[in-house]
Amino acid sequence: MYRNLNKSIMKRINGKYAEINEMKALLADTDYHVIKEAEGDYSVPQEILDARAFARAKINLLEEEIVVLEEELKNNIEEVIEL
């Protein structure tokens, strides 16, 4: 039972890390616009700013969810050890 549950939790954790990587790729892909604006005489399109804000917020949320899942996994492992 715990093995399947732990596999399920790990699969969810891995999925969240994959989403984080996608969001980080979006940030990396749009860094040029932000740097260009910082250097002057350019304005980052609002849709890019919105996408970057969404990506940062999503990363933060996913990281919080991972912490919860990792704690659940740890608790499951400790229960198995106690058995």
* Model pLDDT, residue 79: 74
Cβ atoms 6, 76 nearer than 8 A: yes
Mean pLDDT (the chain, rounded): 93
**3-state DSSP helix/strand/coil % of the chain, to nearest 5:** 90, 0, 10
Over residues 49-55, mean pLDDT: 98
Specify the pTM: 0.86
pLDDT at 11 > cutoff 90: yes
Helix boundaries (H) for 1-83? 2-39, 46-82
Cβ atoms 49, 42 nearer than 8 A: no
